[in-house]
Amino acid sequence: MYKMIAIDIDDTLINDHKQITAGTRQALAEAVSRGVIVTLATGRMYASARQLAAQLALNVPLITYQGSLVKTSIDEQVLYERNVPQEAARFIYDYCQQSGLHLQLYHNDILYVRESNDKAEEYARLSKIPYTVEPDFESLIGKPNTKLLMIDQPDKLDSVAVELRGAIGQQVHITKSKPHFLEVVHKEGTKGDAIRFLAEHFGLKLEEVMAIGDSWNDREMLQAAGLGVAMGNAVDALKEIADYVTLSNNEDGVKHAVEKFVLSPSA
């Protein structure tokens, strides 16, 4: 019944040790052997997602930057791309300057920061992608940016999100991938937009797509997919809209969902 599976990476595909377990690898390999398209759908950069795709030997278009960039994993062909409108990017840049917020920009799949600090270093460790310090950081606002990301305390970012939605919410999509990550992409750059695009690209109905995630930035793809699966460790709000709640990322939740809905004879 399900011919495509889109899987979030952090706290979904990988466990708290940042590993893809052998059981999950085996279940996904079996799904691929049966002709199921398995892809990743992440807020991460393409370069970072590609590393995980290589571990799974996936040769498919990858959904990256929350859905703003869909790019093939082997020949690096861009299939779908949306950049943050420059007017909105300028507003966020000025806002972060005035508020003292750490801001990261993503241009041509390069992570740019104004200066090296703990936030940039921790993010680089998480994504396993180096950052580039750009002294003329403001000049990047005039270039196409796939994503803008702010890092701070969760409560502070919740307030920032409300303010930004009120000011530029018609131009961009604002979401959280983690409690301390506030991300801004084009309004048509969500995982839901990317899921719809890929389904059409492969000639599939959305009813034939399963999406698995854990955070609120996965909401749009769980709603778009025929079967939306929330991890056992997902935020409560995502569990409430999911069609099914699987085990946690430390209990092979992805493996459990794939075996139940794709590999079992009754699926």
pLDDT at 64 over 80: yes
pLDDT at 156: 97
φ and ψ at residue 182, rounded to 5 degrees: -110, 120
pLDDT at 219 over 60: yes
pLDDT at 57: 93
pLDDT at 101 over 90: yes
pLDDT at 266: 60
What is the percent of the chain where pLDDT is above 70? 99
pLDDT at 265 over 90: no
Q: Which residue numbers are catalytic?
A: 8
pLDDT at 127: 86
pLDDT digits (tens, 9 = 90+) for 159-191: 999 999 999 999 999 999 889 999 999 999 999
pLDDT digits (tens, 9 = 90+) for 128-160: 899 999 999 999 999 999 999 999 999 999 999
Query: Token pair for residue 19?
Result: 């590993």
Domains of the chain: 4-81+189-263 (3.40.50.1000), 86-186 (3.30.1240.10)
Burial string for 217-226 (b: 16+ CB within 10 Å, else e) reads: bbbbbbbbbb
Q: How far apart are the first and last CA of the chain?
A: 7
pTM of the model: 0.93
Q: Parallel, antiparallel, or unpaired for β 147-151 and 102-107? A: antiparallel
pLDDT at 65 over 60: yes
126: left (phi over 0), alpha (psi -120 to 50) or beta: alpha
User: What single string gives the DSSP state of each residue in 75-90?
Assistant: T--EEEE----HHHHH
pLDDT at 237: 96
